[in-house]
């Protein structure tokens, strides 16, 4: 008997639920519209500049510490110039070989395409070293044989 009453009135329960949900949605929509009102922000006058963050005490670079770091970096750069003096000239490519990169300090990796031309290539590399301000014995060479691409 109760099941028949529920079946009879189920549509009323569904319509009532939908109406309640619509009322809730409409009332929250009105609140959201009220919260979205734009408030003007005061403009900053160009005659009153604000200090940069570094000017505020405790913020920004530590000049004494930075000077030490910069000095250390400059020292490392100078040492790299001594250890890798031709780094900015690499890779040096010809039809017979490539002076590819430094493996270690003053140790160049040379890729040759024909192992039979090694002595001829060695003379060309020595000339290249001299032309670029180094001496013949200033660098060790790691020889690598590779078929030409």
Mean pLDDT of 1-20: 72
Chain-centroid distance, C-alpha 133 = 35
pLDDT of residue 33 exceeding 60: no
Domain count, the chain: 2
The pair of structure tokens assigned to 55 is: 């000017």
* C-alpha closest to that of 111 among 99, 103, 119: 99
- Residue 93 in any domain: the answer is yes
Mean pLDDT of the chain: 79
Nearest to 84 by CA among 106, 100, 101, 99: 106
> Between these two residues, 40 and 100, which has the higher pLDDT value?
100
Assigned domain for 55 exists: no
Residue 139 has pLDDT above 90, yes or no: yes
Residue 130 forms part of a structural domain? yes
DSSP letter at 139 equals -
**Is 47 part of any domain?**
no
pTM for the full predicted model:
0.53
As a whole-number percent, the residues of the chain with pLDDT over 70 amount to 67
Q: Is residue 57 part of a domain?
A: no
Residue 68 lies in a domain: no
Query: Would residue 82 count as lying in a domain?
Result: no
At residue 112, φ and ψ (nearest 5 deg) are -110, 150
- 133, pLDDT greater than 70: yes
Helix (H/G/I), strand (E/B), else coil: 37: coil
Task: Kindly report, residue by residue over 44-76, the tens digit of the pLDDT.
Answer: 555 556 655 555 565 655 656 677 888 888 899
pLDDT value of position 61: 59
Domain annotation covers residue 120: yes
**Distance in angstroms (rounded) separating the CA atoms of residues 97 and 113:** 6
Q: Which domain holds residue 4?
A: 1-33
- CA distances to 37, 113, 134 from 42, rounded to whole Å, are 16, 72, 66
Q: Is the pLDDT of residue 92 over 90?
A: yes
pLDDT of residue 15: 80
Query: DSSP character for 133?
Result: T
CA distance 136 to 128: 9
Encode pLDDT of 11-24 as tens digits. 677 788 888 888 88
- The pLDDT of residue 23 is 85
């Amino acid at each position: 008997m109760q099941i028949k009453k529920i079946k009879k009135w189920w549509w009323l329960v569904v319509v009532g639920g939908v109406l309640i949900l619509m009322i809730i949605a409409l009332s929250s929509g009105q609140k959201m519209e009220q919260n979205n009102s734009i408030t003007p922000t005061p403009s900053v006058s160009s005659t009153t500049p604000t200090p940069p963050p570094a000017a505020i005490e405790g913020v920004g670079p530590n000049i004494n510490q930075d000077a030490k770091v910069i000095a250390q970096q400059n020292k490392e750069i100078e040492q790299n110039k001594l250890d890798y003096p031709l780094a900015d000239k690499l890779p040096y490519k010809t039809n017979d070989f490539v002076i590819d990169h430094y493996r270690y300090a003053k140790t160049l990796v040379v890729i040759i395409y024909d192992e039979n031309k090694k002595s001829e290539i060695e003379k060309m590399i020595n000339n290249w070293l001299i032309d670029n301000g180094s001496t013949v014995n200033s660098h060790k060479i790691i020889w690598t044989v590779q078929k030409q691409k």
